[in-house]
Amino acid sequence: MTFNRRKFIAVGAATAATLSAPRVLADNHGKPRVVVIGGGSGGATAARYIAKDSKGAIDVTLVEPSRTYFTCYFSNLYIAGFTELGDISHTYGTLAAKYGINVVHDWAVDVDRDAKTVSLAGGSVLPYDKLILSPGIDFVEGAVPGWSVAAQNKMPHAYKAGSQSELLKAQIMAMPQGGRFAMVAPPDPFRCPPGPYERISMVAHVLKQTNPTAKILLVDPKEKFSKQGLFEEGWERHYSGMIERVGPDFGATNVTVDPEAMTVDIDGSVENVDVCNVIPAQKAGRIADMAGVTDGNWAPVNAADMSSKADPDVHVLGDAAQQGDMPKSGFAANSQAKVCAMAVRGALTDSKVFPAKFTNTCWSLIAPDDGVKVGATYEATAEKIAKVDGFVSQTGEDAATRKATYEESVGWYAGITADMFN
Ligand SMILES: Cc1cc2nc3c(=O)[nH]c(=O)nc-3n(C[C@H](O)[C@H](O)[C@H](O)COP(=O)(O)OP(=O)(O)OC[C@H]3O[C@@H](n4cnc5c(N)ncnc54)[C@H](O)[C@@H]3O)c2cc1C
């Protein structure tokens, strides 16, 4: 069955590409149709839950260009050598074979909200009753003058995992002894608030092993960052003297880079670096903008069901959504996806819908077995997803607690990826 479905998809895509006029794919046997754009933390979860829980009553199509999804979570650990790239890669076969999801490997290039159709780069047109957008992030053009995606091979972002993570790791391993690694961190709001600082920790860890006289320059436009006290305590304990953070007081809001010269200009002071990890300011993945559901940056949604404030038949999940108090994380996207899946299934099949509840925890690794976390529970109010209760690791915790926290994160990784793909 898997083979036939895959073959059908491959033939369908090839045929579509050869037709001059777009085709509407409407063979849904009268079932309601859900199209999900983006097969990551939000989209894969939503597709899986709708297909699984509706037991075939809803026709689910998942549009995702990549055949392999590399999780950003644990990609910093990959850079430090704690995991292999294969350990953070996942494919879509089970979603097709076990749940009957129509997995289409293509780009969505347009959404017509009046006709309720999605156009794909290959030429096909998919009709929908409900559309779910979970396209993740794109970078704001010109956010770091001198940097563009054309320069991402010289100065990688590694903020979409996969080849960029491999490249950044290779550049770090090739640094000259005593060389300098720089990161240009993004302004709020951005994907994974602790992500840049976990990365600094992991780069410090690998350099401590391979290049102990190397230095790390963190150029950060923000006054404060997630789990700051915990990271700074850990950096002092494990990597003393290695990491220098330049904040807004010292010009970090006025930064340009030169990828050819490998320099970072911080408010007129030009620094030579050997590796430069530029993580630009972010906005919703472009297709959300093309669907006309963003405010120019993010897509405002209703907390109760993640529906767009611009269109009740379009839902936006994960990083692309402007939802309130939740951070932009994989955990959050997965949690929002389950709320959305229940609401969509309820609307299309009259099944019971329970009040929305959301949870999130973000774990970060500072050094081997030194894990920290921050998390919260949330509820839907009329205005937003609102924080109810939170917790955060404490400075000065003992080694056993930190090790247990790290082990928890390993368990979480297995759980969320199974919840998305198995
Ligand atoms: C370094 C790093 C570390 C992180 N660590 C953690 C962590 O420890 N815990 C945690 O919870 N989160 C973590 N995150 C954040 C997490 O990866 C994201 O918040 C999460 O993946 C968001 O899910 P999403 O569905 O919005 O987007 P994604 O998971 O990025 O999925 C978006 C998908 O949409 C597809 N897509 C985009 N445009 C189109 C289109 N036009 N047509 C079809 N498909 C399209 C993309 O190919 C992609 O597969 C980390 C992020 C980074 C960068």
Residues 6+ apart with CB under 8 A from 277: 155, 156, 157, 158, 168, 181, 182, 183, 184, 199
Phi-psi sector, 158: left (phi>0), alpha (psi -120 to 50), beta:
left
Asked whether 160 and 252 are in contact (CB, 8 A), the reply is: no
Residues 6+ apart with CB under 8 A from 20: none
Point out the ligand 1 atom lying closest to the alpha carbon of residue 38: 34
Point out the ligand 1 atom lying closest to the alpha carbon of residue 360: 11
pLDDT less than 50: residues of the chain: 1-24, 26
DSSP state of 240: T
User: Ligand 1: does its nearest atom lie under 6 Å from the Cβ of 335?
Assistant: no
Give me the pLDDT at residue 8, please. Answer: 32
Could you give the C-alpha distances from 406 to 185, 240, 370, 401, 411, in angstroms and in order? Answer: 24, 22, 7, 9, 9
How close is the Cα of 65 to the center of ligand 1, in Å? 13
Asked whether 223 and 247 are in contact (CB, 8 A), the reply is: yes
User: Ligand 1: does its nearest atom lie under 6 Å from the Cβ of 371?
Assistant: no
User: Ligand 1: does its nearest atom lie under 6 Å from the Cβ of 318?
Assistant: yes
Residue with tokens 């990890």: 277
Q: Angle, nearest 10°, between helix axes 163-173 and 195-210?
A: 40
Beta strand 137-139 with 282-284 is antiparallel
How close is the Cα of 272 to the center of ligand 1, in Å? 32
**Nearest alpha carbon, ligand 1 atom 51:** 72
Which CB contacts under 8 angstroms, 24+ apart, belong to 306-310? Answer: 306/336, 306/339, 306/340, 306/343, 307/343, 308/133
User: Ligand 1: does its nearest atom lie under 6 Å from the Cβ of 136?
Assistant: yes
**Nearest alpha carbon, ligand 1 atom 8:** 73
How close is the Cα of 45 to the center of ligand 1, in Å? 12
Q: Rounded to two decimals, what is the model's pTM? A: 0.94
Give me the pLDDT at residue 17, please. Answer: 37
Cα torsion 393, 218, 319, 45 to 10°: value is -60
Which H/E stretch holds residue 416? helix 399-421
Distance CA 311, CA 298 (A): 15
Give me the pLDDT at residue 30, please. Answer: 87
Distance CA 244, CA 237 (A): 14
Q: In which residue ranges of the chain is CATH 3.50.50.60 found?
A: 13-138+283-356, 143-281
User: Ligand 1: does its nearest atom lie under 6 Å from the Cβ of 135?
Assistant: yes
User: Ligand 1: does its nearest atom lie under 6 Å from the Cβ of 200?
Assistant: no
Give me the pLDDT at residue 306, please. Answer: 98
How close is the Cα of 160 to the center of ligand 1, in Å? 7
Give me the pLDDT at residue 22, please. Answer: 45
Point out the ligand 1 atom lying closest to the alpha carbon of residue 337: 25
Question: CATH fold of 13-138+283-356, please?
Answer: FAD/NAD(P)-binding domain (3.50.50)
**Nearest alpha carbon, ligand 1 atom 30:** 136
Residues 6+ apart with CB under 8 A from 255: 144, 145, 184, 219, 221, 264, 265, 266, 267
Distance CA 128, CA 15 (A): 21
**Nearest alpha carbon, ligand 1 atom 15:** 329
Point out the ligand 1 atom lying closest to the alpha carbon of residue 287: 41
Q: Which two tokens stand for residue 129?
A: 């009753």
**Cα–Cα nearest to 277, from 249, 255, 248, 251:** 255
CATH 3.50.50.60 matches 143-281:
yes
Best of 62, 63, 73, 138 to mutate for ligand 1, by most ligand atoms within 8 A of CB? 73
How close is the Cα of 15 to the center of ligand 1, in Å? 30
User: Ligand 1: does its nearest atom lie under 6 Å from the Cβ of 72?
Assistant: yes
Distance CA 138, CA 131 (A): 20
Beta bridge partners of 312: none
DSSP secondary structure of 89-143:
EEESHHHHHHH--EEE-S-EEEEETTTTEEEETTSEEEE-SEEEE---EEEPTTS
How close is the Cα of 318 to the center of ligand 1, in Å? 8
User: Ligand 1: does its nearest atom lie under 6 Å from the Cβ of 362?
Assistant: yes
Give me the pLDDT at residue 28, please. Answer: 60
Degrees, nearest 5: CA angle 273-278-281? 150
Point out the ligand 1 atom lying closest to the alpha carbon of residue 318: 26
Give me the pLDDT at residue 380, please. Answer: 98
DSSP secondary structure of 24-75:
E---STT--EEEEE--SHHHHHHHHHHHHHHTTSSEEEEE-S-SEEEPSTTH
Residue with tokens 């790239």: 85
How close is the Cα of 111 to the center of ligand 1, in Å? 21
How close is the Cα of 73 to the center of ligand 1, in Å? 9
User: Ligand 1: does its nearest atom lie under 6 Å from the Cβ of 40?
Assistant: yes
Asked whether 175 and 255 are in contact (CB, 8 A), the reply is: no
Asked whether 41 and 330 are in contact (CB, 8 A), the reply is: yes
